[in-house]
Structures are given as structure tokens and as C-alpha cells.
Amino acid sequence: MNVSLTPQLEKLVKSKVESGLYGSASEVMREALRLLEERDRRHTLRVEELRAEIKKGLDSGEPTALDVGAMKARGRKRLDAQQNKTHG
């Protein structure tokens, strides 16, 4: 198999071999492909996780209105209780 690289990529491959990290251009390419495969696998897993979370949200029931004022009040009450516990 022959692969054509851009001059920039060819320079990168050569520099990796010259650094001594790899014994040949083929080793550099094998490592690059292995990393690409790993990245693709992680991406696929992440997409599956996101789909599962979306499904969980959709299956959780009808949406309810968010009462920001009540949420803030609960948070302030908790914060006050923590501060009183620390200082009291």
C-alpha cells in the first residue's frame, strides 16, 4: 500500500523517526492509525452514552416548569444553615 502525505505530515513522520522514538515511518503510521482507531472508539462510546442519557430524559415523564425563585430560596436557606453551623 502506498500512502501520499502532505509535505507537513511527511516532515512530522520524518522528525518522529529521526528523534529515535520510532524505528521507521511504518511504525509512526501504525501508531497514528492505532491512536485514530482509539479516538474513534471513544467517540462511539460517548455518542452511545449521550443517546442513553437523552433516552433516560425523554422516558422520565412530562416536563415540569422550573421555578428559579424557589430554587434560589432553597439554596439560600441551605447556605444560611451552613454558615450558621460554621459560625454558631
Residue 85 pLDDT: 85
Closest CA to 16 of 25, 3, 7, 5: 25
Residue 57 pLDDT: 94
Residue 66 DSSP SS3: coil
Residue spans of the domains in the chain: they are 7-87
Residue 87 pLDDT: 78
Closest CA to 5 of 26, 34, 36, 35: 26
pTM for the whole structure: 0.64
Predicted confidence pLDDT, tens digits, the chain (88 residues): 899 999 999 999 999 999 999 999 999 999 999 999 999 999 999 999 999 999 999 999 998 899 999 999 999 999 999 998 887 6
Who's near 4: CB < 8 A, 6+ residues apart? Answer: none
